[in-house]
A and B are shown apart, each in its own frame.
Chain A
């Protein structure tokens, strides 16, 4: 178990280093940020002074090592635009995105798994076909369009929920979150539901496919022959067997939601990390881009590590392979 963990952590480290090189080279290839930052009318002396100040006149490899050694000291640089340390800039936006992503995943899981189970348990029922049609809509209709529809319906026409923004926040677990109060919740419902739709569609289809397969297996037939009730058959035998693909997709989706909730955040004017990265790409705010992408890689590696550990808990056959 500990060997497995160390092995996975080393792999994670390797991925992060490789990613840092790719990101660094990619951002370098975009061009010189100084051209964007300063007034085009300013003279060459000022331009060169700035280039020198940011170390952009050093050879590329040297720039990279300066960047890496700063990173190891916990310093990911300072935003060109905001004049703030990048890390504190990103983390000031992190709670907003975290609560939005988690609420969306909660909605998708709590609706998607039961609906998928039902659709797989009674594949020929009319209700199941309706669920499947809904799931197709869920991941084929563009997010921004559904977001606009939601705003039109629930904010403009019905006036039940606010149309955007984050609303009041209260401190929960040391982080400023909206979900602490009822009014804050009213702000998060629409964007979270918007963000959840795609994942909901995905989880429904995944759960249904697994359920159909497991329901026709010999061990389900054997369980029925033992006189187990249908709820026990589904709850004990089916749910545990379909959980591995569900956990995999859950992990991947959680990662990508945290990192790239940008469309929903833009539509609902949600002050999260997605908006930050898009803004910094527009103005070529290099330190923010690099730091953000590396953090995203770290996040994905972390989530996948957790998913791998959960696998072992769910399927004993995987556990055996991991320890041998």
Chain B
């Protein structure tokens, strides 16, 4: 990978609540290069969305960024405040949210919202701004964009609204777009169209994407690289195809084993036993140990990152060996079927 566009280093986001301080994001580091798509994968509560919000400085009370840095073209944007941060948001780094029904203001026309977004960073006339909004809608594959500008959000379908949100994110040709589960609320067919569109946009415009999702199927078809998150930490990273073909971390293996498409109809689906731990009550050492089939005596201490070939790494004392043949079958037998 050449010079990364976005480089997150040891990012820590905490929430101060009555019971104490929660480490929602606990030392997360990753890099994304120009035109690359990074899949940030994890279960609900793993801290992947909070990571996305932290990058844009959109964490609200009682949350705050406790440490680490977010380098955008080498500049640390966690240090920015007020007006400086506003100029970065939307212009150099943009975000798309999960629920397209909620992210557009229901009482404002699409055009009004897009013109405001254009003029937030460029001092142009409404007419010019409207033209750019129309072009952006056309770029994400919205038919008759001129008419859509005069429509209200409720007049568009969910997929159309998410395209509008992506178009808004693209308005200023940002270096990076953080997408927080943007296809989760959509039909599978619409999801497929949008994924194809995003892949094309990343290749054509050079925009880097951080694609936050819990859906491994999405990541495997879209992302160049993967970061798997568990309890606020990144437990495994590597090129998407290789991580999916041969996971190193037992958690990644468990996630992959529970994808239904990998199994014969009628078979019982293997599950990762237990559930995501509460951040207020994390086990000592490796947070995944109580659910892990490979857990051993060392797991009561915090594991360090183990590096493998091809830039892969895992946060585990007992990573799965690369020479174990047919990783899929091995993992699905290791995780006993649900009974």
Residues of A participating in the B interface, judged by any CB pair closer than 8 Å? 217-219, 221-229, 232, 236-237, 240-241, 314-317, 320
Contacts and interface: CB of A to CB of B under 8 A. Distances in A.
A218 B103 contact: yes
State the majority secondary structure of interface residues on A. Answer: helix
Contact of A227 (B90, B102, B113, B165): B90
B95 A229 contact: no
A320 B165 CA distance: 23
Given A226-B90, A316-B152, A221 B117 contact: no
B75 interface: no
A314 B105 CA distance: 12
Given A226-B117, A227-B89, A229-B86, A240 B152 contact: no
Given A227-B91, A232-B120, A317-B152, A222 B97 contact: yes
Nearest to A238: B105
Contact of B108 (A217, A225, A237): A237
Contacts of B229: none
Given A225-B95, A228-B120, A229-B120, A317 B89 contact: no
Contact of A219 (B87, B95, B104): B104
26 contacts: A217-B102, A218-B97, A218-B103, A219-B102, A219-B103, A222-B95, A222-B103, A223-B113, A223-B116, A224-B89, A225-B58, A225-B89, A225-B95, A225-B97, A226-B117, A226-B168, A226-B169, A227-B91, A228-B86, A232-B120, A237-B108, A240-B107, A314-B107, A315-B106, A316-B106, A316-B152
A217 B120 CA distance: 20
A227 B120 contact: yes
Contacts of B117: 226-228
Interface string B101-136: 011111110001100110011000000000000000
B146 to A, nearest CB: 18
Contacts, number: 81
Interface residues on B, range: 20 to 34
Contacts of A236: 108, 112, 116
Nearest to B56: A225
Interface string B80-104: 0000001111110011010100111
Contacts of A227: 86-91, 117, 120-121
Given A227-B121, A237-B105, A316 B94 contact: no
Nearest to B114: A226
Which of A227, A229, A315, A320 gathers most chain B CB within 10 Å?
Answer: A227
A224 B107 contact: no
B120 A226 contact: yes
Nearest to A224: B58
Contacts of B200: none
A140 B95 CA distance: 46
A320 B107 CA distance: 12
Contact of B89 (A218, A219, A226, A241): A226
